[in-house]
Structure 1
Amino acid sequence: MELQTLASFGKSFRERFLHAQQRLGTGLPFLCIEDLILIITLIGAAPDARSLWIGGSISGAALALLFWVQGYTASWQEPAVIGPFRFVRHPLRLSLWLLAIGFSLAARSFAGLLFSLGILPLLYFLDLYREEALRRRQNLAAFRYGKFVPALVPTIFPYHREAVSVPFSWRGGLVGSDRSVRRRLGRLVLGWIVIMLLERHILPANGAWIAAGLWFVFLVIRTILHRKTLRLVFS
């Protein structure tokens, strides 16, 4: 009897943990990752010309990757194993991650860089790991694809499989079909404007702190008005 009670307790605990993990990973987002990156990075921002060049170079490469990804996913529900998907399983998330890293490097923010480097692998584990594991158990092709193609760090050896007739869309690459991506890019554009004004000394030295505080107040007001919880999401 006691063993059955312990087993049921363990099972219910695992179910509650997985449910909480699912809510954290895939729940309806109000606070996206870029909100936190923007606030944390601006608090410690001290940009100079060199940091803007370094961060801008990484961000430019990330935008090129994003253009490549969106060109193949604009009119495709389930991305085929073509284009960037032959080198990495989640190129869209990789491009957004590189954009965040480039922004934090441009701002010369150590806190922002640490947060950007650590948040993506963590949220990948919380959001996509279980879903991918289930898909691999049910689909042999997905198992082989996941075995040879890494999730976030691209491989130099492309995945080979049958050719899929999915044309590249230049309009899709420029515009994209995901509104959340455009919203996230808009947040990072605002951050870039602030740090460039700081580097040009158009804003005062504490201008980044003021911008971060104003953005935080804006988020709090939206939370109260829309009555949404602050949850982080990966996708």
Structure 2
Amino acid sequence: MSPALDQVFKIGIGGPVGSGKTALIEALVPVLLQRGHSVGVVTNDIYTQEDAAHIRRTLDGVLDPERIVGVETGSCPHTAVRDDPSMNLAAGAELLERYGDIDTLLYESGGDNLTLTYSPLLADVYVFVLDTGEGDKMPRKRGPGITDSDLLVINKIDIAPYVRADLDVMSRDADRVREGRPVILTDCLTGTGVPEVADFLAGRRPACSPSA
């Protein structure tokens, strides 16, 4: 790993396709910037850079688009963020060569299933995102993403009434299967719950981080 990567706080964000990983990043970056952090973003798509392009458009005027890079993995998301994260490590190192002030790197995985996890080489903290549209049964399905992630985010809570998802049930089951590990409910479009996610990350930020 690049020595520079050892000095920044690396956040991995994973979850199924459409769960709101990109939306969480787009909502979280302005909060991190307001709190004095310098941010870089690395997204993963198998064959395109759609997520990176979306974040650049959404954060236009907020974050320098050159600080947002996309990795075309050509393989399943597990490989790129867990089994062999070399492409992502290289992308992060390249960002840090260009912007030495970065103290926080957000790595977004490609959409995947409930077994996705991050290599500790790539992420200091791993956030897994679920979508209420997938149904309130999802926490009960378990899987390492749900049970073992540092933080579980239950996103799109605004649509729960329209998809017959009971947020109380979803939250209760998530607490039970995670055995007390943190769970935060969010609506990334309005910002509900996003400051709480930033607070959690602040609590996990290493003391060596330049902006800690």
TM-score, normalised via structure 2 length: 0.30
